[in-house]
Structure 1
Amino acid sequence: MKLAVVGGGSTYTPELIDGFARLRDTLPIEELVLVDPAADRLELVGGLARRIFAKQGHPGRIVTTSDVDAGVADADAVLLQLRVGGQAARNQDETWPLECGCVGQETTGAGGLAKALRTVPVVLDIAERVRRTNPNAWIIDFTNPVGIVTRALLQAGHKAVGLCNVAIGFQRKFARLLDVAPGQVHLDHVGLNHLTWETGVRLGGPEGEDVLPALLEQHGDAVAEDLHMPRAIVDRLGVVPSYYLRYYYQHDAVVEELRTKPSRASEVAEMERTLLEMYGDPALDEKPELLAKRGGAFYSEAAVDLAASLLGGGGSPYQVVNTANNGTLPFLPDDAVIEVQASVDGKGARPLAVPRLDPLFAGLIANVTGYEDLALDAALRGGRDRVFKALLAHPLIGQYAYAEQLTDSLIAHNREHLAWA
């Protein structure tokens, strides 16, 4: 089995490598190719990756290359974890929207649109290269904004599934609170990427007992603290929203908070410098503890599980993924990409049935899906007017004057990444 990781020079990668090494019986990789244009980073990450495999006794071969075509050739699956423009572009996404009182964040709002515009054309180019060299390969997208990127891939006819670590993070957290094995926790997880709610927490599987009410009653304070939201919000909703819902439910408070502290991108950039220095130490043969602060918790477990199922191995029968709606949420078009529990195997991901949603959640999902339609159109065809319409449609913006100002700012800060600008 051969896997390729495009964006393999990321400081995230040792988390992925550690999972591949520990879970080699689930996903028996014979060759792993790390692909990245940044040769200096790739050398450091690749060296640590080989040492991790060696320490844990993994027999697989790790190859590094900057040649996308060579890297993905004959791969059974290609995992995408790109950041076009690096942390510098992310820092801009997190700062210039604040100038007009809108959330600055890399996956939602104006910053999220900027990332989509930079990313979609690059991902589609890579996917076409994969299709030319191996049309049967699965593409697993971890690149944000996952929903929009996955929709672009699916609309272009690629064998693609999107992946996010929010759901597995909740699963592991709830398992600790309930004192059960993670595999016993099944989430009724529904929404769009970075716009999801846990409407049920079931023990044993999709038909298991829903213990969410008891979980919130006994551990509501701990859940709310992790979300950085007041417990009153969680109690009134009666469900567990993802962390990203705080940008909607507490927008103005979050804007003020973001204005008073360094951007997350600047923190991560400093962390990455330290991590890369650590990766260069020939004595280091395990992922460092600092990596846990970088983000992406349980990413490797989720990736291994998904890849194993898609490639006909021993992955879990049900997994939370990003895939085509196809009637699952009847108020959305079939080609919308939703994030839900799905049955996953070698034929792909098929969403499980979702009970009728409370309009409080369904309305926001429909609104953001409309934005994503326009965002993808802007990413594929370009043009100031398309960018403006997408921003005007986003519920975190929605005002003409703000959309005008943000359109100009977005184009000015991303001109080098926009072929049409």
Structure 2
Amino acid sequence: MKLAVVGGGSTYTPELIDGIAGRRSTLDVDEIVLIDPDAYRVDTVGAFSRRLLEHAGHPARVHTTADLEEGVDGATAVLIQLRVGGQRTRRSDETFPHVCGCIGQETTGAGGLAKALRTVPVVLDIADRVRRAAGDDTWIVNFTNPVGIVTRALLGEGHRAVGLCNVAIHLQRTFAGLLGAGVDDVRLVHTGLNHLSWERGVLVDGVDRLPELLGRHADAVGDQVGAPVDWMRRMNAVPSYYLKYYYAHDELVAAQRTGRPRADVVSDVEEELLKVYLDPDQVTKPAQLEKRGGAYYSEAAVQLVHALTAGGPGEEHVVNVRNNGTFGFLPDDAVIEVPATVDAGGPTPIAQPPVEQRFAGLIAAATAYEHLALDAALRGGRDRVADALLAHPLVGQYAQADRLADDLVRTNREFLPWARA
């Protein structure tokens, strides 16, 4: 099987390669192509990836290229993991909303909308070219944020796509460790949208162990997700760590204003990692990679690709998939993040217990924002940007939406063709 990675020069990529090396018996990959316009980065990451595979005794060949069509030709699956504008635009996403007292974050709020506007047209162009070069049967696994909006764009254009995030698998691994259970024995009742989700059940051998996690392990869980123990117990749920941007908004804005932007931290980590990757004696995944974020990215990606391509019985994975009636309070074409049965035909959402209003209300509001955000990304226009911001639960005021829309368009003009017309 040939696997292509768009954005293969990312310092994340060795995580994926390490995961492939560890899954030799289940994922039959014999060729990996890393595609990236940055020759220095992709060549550096490619050479290190070859050493990783060789050291692990894995026979897969690694190629690097800047030519998308060459890279995806003959691929069974294509992973997309790109960042339009790099860490420079991420820094802007994390800081420009502060002028209105709003959270600065690259996947939610005004910063998340800026990222969506830059990203959706680029990913759709890539997907169209993948379809022409590799064929209609090629799976696209989207790891590019904001995953929900980007995946909705791909599905809306008829692409064979699945969205993936590492939040669920990270929590699954965390819970397994706390409960002393095997990681594959833990199943989550994961409910919501990408970066807006709750664990409403943690099943081990069919028994819900959530009460135990919220009992004697509550402090450890709270530290992991940044949520108060009493609140989790009252809600009988564990929130994604991204929900702190909603539930502790003002506190986090104050901290952001005095702290160092995450983009600056990541830039330093990336520079350090690239130096490590250049060392010809480095043949294993470096410890510094843990500082880059994206824990268990390789596990999630490799397992999902296996489920989509192996032709075996369905496997359960938490993915971003069309709603199609799963949540009755959302339109069918909304993209939700839930456990699904995944096989060669794609993902099918698993039925969920009724969603409590305290969760459903926020899910519905964020879904409405995502609809408007995608419309703005596809059709452009300053007023569509302002309308999306006004609908976002983290903005929701005329003056803030208008000010943020103007700032967003100004700071991202070079990436928005309609704004330069």
Q: TM-score range by the shorter chain?
A: over 0.9
Match of 1:58 in 2: 58
The correspondence for 1:368, drawn from 343, 366, 369, is 366
Shift of 1:312: 2.3
Q: Is the 8 A contact 1:121 1:380 kept in 2?
A: yes
Match of 1:162 in 2: 163
Match of 1:349 in 2: 347
Q: Is the 8 A contact 1:188 1:341 kept in 2?
A: yes
The correspondence for 2:396, drawn from 387, 395, 398, is 398
1:151 matched to 2:152? The reply is yes
Question: In 1, Cα distance between the equivalents of 2:3 and 2:132?
Answer: 16
Match of 1:250 in 2: 248
1:37 matched to 2:32? The reply is no
Match of 1:20 in 2: 20
1:278-316 CA-to-partner distances (Å, cap 9, x unmatched) read 111111111110101110111101111100010025687
1:312-346 CA-to-partner distances (Å, cap 9, x unmatched) read 25687111000000000000000000000000000
Shift of 1:355: 1.1
Q: Is the 8 A contact 2:213 2:221 kept in 1?
A: no
Question: In 2, Cα distance between the equivalents of 1:317 and 1:269?
Answer: 36
For 1:81, the aligned partner's letter is: Q
Question: In 2, Cα distance between the equivalents of 1:315 and 1:343?
Answer: 9
**SS at 1:189's partner residue?**
strand
Pairwise mapping of residues 296-311 of structure 1 onto structure 2 (< 5 A)? 296-311=294-309
Shift of 1:115: 0.3
Match of 1:129 in 2: 129
Match of 2:291 in 1: 293
Q: Is the 8 A contact 1:189 1:196 kept in 2?
A: yes
Match of 1:201 in 2: 202
Structure 1 stretches lacking a partner, 5+ long = none
**SS at 1:191's partner residue?**
strand
Question: How many residue pairs were aligned?
Answer: 418
Structure 2 stretches lacking a partner, 5+ long = none
Q: Is the 8 A contact 2:32 2:60 kept in 1?
A: yes
Pairwise mapping of residues 256-267 of structure 1 onto structure 2 (< 5 A)? 256-267=254-265
The Cα RMSD (Å) is 0.9
Shift of 1:25: 1.2
Question: In 1, Cα distance between the equivalents of 2:297 and 2:137?
Answer: 24
Match of 2:234 in 1: 236
Shift of 1:74: 0.9
Q: Is the 8 A contact 1:10 1:45 kept in 2?
A: yes
Question: In 2, Cα distance between the equivalents of 1:369 and 1:178?
Answer: 33
- TM-score w.r.t. the length of structure 1 is 0.98
Question: Cα distance 1:314–1:18, how it changes in 2: closer, same or farther (>3 A)?
Answer: farther
For 1:353, the aligned partner's letter is: A
Which runs of 4 or more aligned residues in structure 1 lie more than 4 Å from their structure 2 counterparts after TM superposition?
313-316
Shift of 1:232: 2.2
1:174 matched to 2:172? The reply is no
Q: Is the 8 A contact 2:312 2:343 kept in 1?
A: no
